[in-house]
Amino acid sequence: MADIKAADVMKLRKSSGAGMMDCKKALIEAEGDFDKAVDVLRKRGQKMAEKRADRESSEGAAISVVNTDKTAGVSIVLGCETDFVGKNEDFVALAKELAAAALNFKTKEEFLASDFGGVSVADKLVEQTGVVGEKLEINDFARVEAPFVGSYIHVGNKIATLVGLSEAVDGAEALSRDIAMQVASMGATTLSYKDFDPEFVAAETEARIAAIEKDNIELGRLGKTLKNVPQYISKSQLTDEIMAKAEADAKAELTAEGKPEKIWDRILPGKMERFISDNTTLDQEKCLLDQNFIKDEKITVAEYVAASNVEVVAFSRVTLG
């Protein structure tokens, strides 16, 4: 039987992340040969990965990293099976190490095929499946490049975001972090309502109106206040003609209410803002720039960013599950 030294066990543990006893057993099986012991652990990981291939890796850690020049960032989700493993310090450290390595690649496929300590990232995940005892995989990968890139990781590593700005202006670090927090909190999927496909907006309008009308049937039966049924759900639908009609309708209401025309200029702006708010619910949910800013709901994200004479040019959001 080979003489297994503590230093070799520690070296294998540092290299593989496996437990002390697993490393010692691997070295014993390999008769003290370090490289063979690595293969023993790797084969163990392959067997474990095969057994757990059909498991869900819906827990884990979402990590964002940005390069030193602040011109590129990557977010990944390292998935595992349980929250217990997802919160483990060694697991989170591995996720951060993988995210840092991912900065050098444009796509998830390139990243998985790249070298990571002498093996591919994909093989490293298989190896670590044997170490951890749970299925590990890269569930998401997002990259943002811009003149300035900022990031945010939500508490508990559940959500990771990146935001790209058009310029590296003074205060860009704080500004980009604020917007990245907005993305994490409000879950925008696109920059602006201008990016929407008209067919998507039309279909979403029909579905939302139908859902509200269905709810109103039940609310009416219970004698409760009915929900407002919007005519539209996005600024992309609010043409000049529609806005002109909305203003004419508002003036007609003021006339019917007996409000003197000399005070209309104080009332009309509020009515038009309410009309826009009531008829842009899709934008407020999905469009980053059109959302109310979480730190000051009196302004939109677009207005907050414009105050710094800069634009948001890209963003990403990755999350567990």
- Enter the CATH code of domain 59-190: 3.30.479.20
- What is the CATH architecture assignment of 6-51? Orthogonal Bundle (1.10)
Per-residue pLDDT at 97: 95
Per-residue pLDDT at 172: 96
Domain ranges of the chain: 6-51, 59-190, 194-292
Residue 147 tokens read as 């003149």
Per-residue pLDDT at 49: 60
What tens-digit pLDDT sequence spans the chain (321 residues)?
556 767 776 776 776 766 667 767 777 777 677 777 777 777 776 666 667 777 888 999 999 999 999 999 999 999 999 999 999 998 999 999 999 999 999 999 999 999 998 889 998 898 888 878 888 999 999 999 999 999 999 989 999 999 999 999 999 999 999 999 999 999 999 999 999 999 999 999 999 999 999 999 999 999 999 998 889 999 999 999 999 999 999 999 999 999 999 999 999 999 999 999 999 999 999 999 999 999 999 999 999 999 999 999 999 999 997
